[in-house]
Amino acid sequence: MALTRIILGAPLGALRPRDQGTDMVTILGIDPGLAILGFGAIACPTVSGGEGAGAIARQMPIEPLDYGIIQTPAHTPLGDRLCTLYGDLNDLLDAIAPDLVALEKLFFYRMGNTIAVAQARGVTLLAIAQRQLPLVEFTPAQVKQALTGHGNAPKADVQAAVARELALDHLPKPDDAADALAVAIAAWFST
């Protein structure tokens, strides 16, 4: 019996065909959690060249590749949930093959939840480190600042910014996947 399910926003690469004439970098954003881990993958254009190349690339459209969640059920032993999370993360990393991973830093609001998220975050960091993938981390306030210009922006403003930046005609769902896409976009803006 599988302990988890991956709910995909769309099949990998089915959201929009990649522009074959542009070099792209794939960024995987992760919103860590034990019960629900959000992920969002984006393809970002790269422009080789001299000074200002990064600014030129950031003016080109970002393409959503995939987004969704990895979910583990409550009332399942912690070790089993962490093993499932680790296995599904490795499957996700294989499928997406990111050039960069962006991870949301821990946000303390309830001690019991913080410990579970920290454990899931540790498993996530292990899977990333074993593949020697470049990693950047952002606090929730840094993500909000990058996408909206305000570090205390409401979630609805961040989700609207995600939809705008990715030229989506809808807000990405579930919220954990939208948060992961926001983390990936913040990483793109910071490069």
For the annotated catalytic residues, the residue numbers are 31, 104, 176
Rg (CA), the chain: 16
Separation CA 115–CA 118 (nearest Å): 5
Give the strands of the sheet with 36-45, arranged side by side.
5-8, 63-71, 36-45, 24-31, 100-104, 135-138
Q: Please tell me whether residue 92 adopts helix, strand or coil conformation.
A: helix
Tokens 């990405």 locate to 172
In 32-133, the DSSP E strands lie at: 36-45, 63-71, 100-104
Separation CA 71–CA 102 (nearest Å): 19
Separation CA 44–CA 18 (nearest Å): 10
